[in-house]
Amino acid sequence: MGKTSNRQVRRIIVSGYYGFNNSGDEAVLKSILNALHAEGEAQGITIEPVVLSADPAWTTRMYGCEAVQRMSPSVLLREIRRCDGLISGGGSLLQDATGWKTIPYYTGVLTLAQMLGKPTFIYSQGVGPVNRGWLFAPIRRVMNKSRYVSVRDAESAALLSRIGVPQERIEVVPDPVMGLPLPEGTQTSAASSASTDALPVIGVSLRHWRKDGVDLERAAAALAALASRRSVRYRFLPFHTPDDTETSQVVIDRLTAIGIGSSIAELAAPGDDPQQMLLEVSRCDMMFGMRLHALIYAANQRVPLIGLSYDPKIDQFLNRLGLTAIGTTEQLDPAQFAASADSLLSDLDGWRSRHGEVIDRLKREAQRPAQQIVALLSQTTKR
């Protein structure tokens, strides 16, 4: 972004789970960068983002912005001293389901910025689950010292309120990815099948969760049950490579062993760019998703969706659309899935009509954190 003599320039660090080849988190980053740039232009401010990344060179190539190593204390200290503020988010950063070290890292980055007198902003985070009580204190401390706090669902807001963050300080907004646009110069019609053989295209996003793999066996049985009712094209979409690629291949092999008649199962390779994955999702007629951002991508593009829950965040997002999960990693009835998916495929336009208004509202509200943060940065005196 170019500088002009009559524009304020604000250098802002963006902290999150970036540079790990996870399409959902990369989509969060892309959405935040887009929104900050758009709001900066609207408010007459040049925003210069600096991303904390596990792979700074890749992040710079992908997004055209400065990126630095997220785990180097000396780099963090240097960059925070140079910045005008720090954004933490979005995604599920403050949770201990994946281990206890996650929360200390992200609260530690926020604490360092606050100790150096830099304003901090929480951008549409999903908070929880937090099963270790000793982690409440650092979360409460950094939240109460942040200039702006936004979370992506009411459950996250309720958890923060229970641990001592005043409710009036918390804004509930959609996930940033609800505002992500398709790649420039592309367009698609969600109302028509992307398949050249006229089979309805069903995007499938699964992840490895249960160690015994029973959840994937259930998912394969459900997909086979639908294929026994009608011919479809299953397009498996790996959101986190290489893990999801391997998981998808396991399920494809299982479907081949079961037999799916004239239906087709294939693995997509949309690459690293989150907008290319969004385009891939937009070309589906329906989405069967376990990954949260697979479901968010689908809603973003008005692609009718069915969710499989492995975490409360799945249920929380579905609830915002007025939906419930078809099953969980502990229970999924193949006949129920097949009947629901068959019914949905027979009334795609009806689904869009029923949920379109909510989706449009979520897309508008997804810009709210960027609007607030840029406005606050414009009031900040450069150090």
Q: What is the pLDDT of residues 83-108, one digit of tens each?
A: 999 999 988 999 998 899 999 999 99
State yes or no: pLDDT of 364 exceeds 50: yes
Determine the pLDDT at residue 197: 63
What mean pLDDT do residues 360-375 have?
A: 96
State yes or no: pLDDT of 1 exceeds 60: no
* Residue-range domain boundaries for the chain: 8-173+366-378, 201-363
What mean pLDDT do residues 234-251 have?
A: 95
What mean pLDDT do residues 260-279 have?
A: 92
The whole-angstrom separation of Cα 102 and Cα 100 is 6
Query: pLDDT-based confidence at 247, cuts 50/70/90?
Result: very high
Domains 8-173+366-378 and 201-363 share a fold: yes
Query: pLDDT-based confidence at 383, cuts 50/70/90?
Result: low
Question: Coil, strand or helix: which one is 64?
Answer: coil
Determine the pLDDT at residue 382: 65
State yes or no: pLDDT of 130 exceeds 50: yes
Query: pLDDT-based confidence at 184, cuts 50/70/90?
Result: confident
Pick the CATH number of 201-363 from 3.40.1640.10, 3.10.20.310, 3.40.50.2000, 3.40.50.1000: 3.40.50.2000
Q: Which CATH architecture has domain 8-173+366-378?
A: 3-Layer(aba) Sandwich (3.40)
Task: Please check whether residue 98 is in contact with residue 131, taking contact to mean a CB–CB distance below 8 angstroms.
Answer: no
What mean pLDDT do residues 364-381 have?
A: 92
pTM, to two decimals:
0.88
Strand order in the sheet with 264-267: 264-267, 233-236, 201-205, 286-289, 305-309, 327-328
Ranked by mean pLDDT, the top range of 1-5, 38-42, 193-197 is: 38-42
Find the helix or strand (DSSP H, E) in which 235 lies.
Answer: strand 233-236
State yes or no: pLDDT of 190 exceeds 60: no
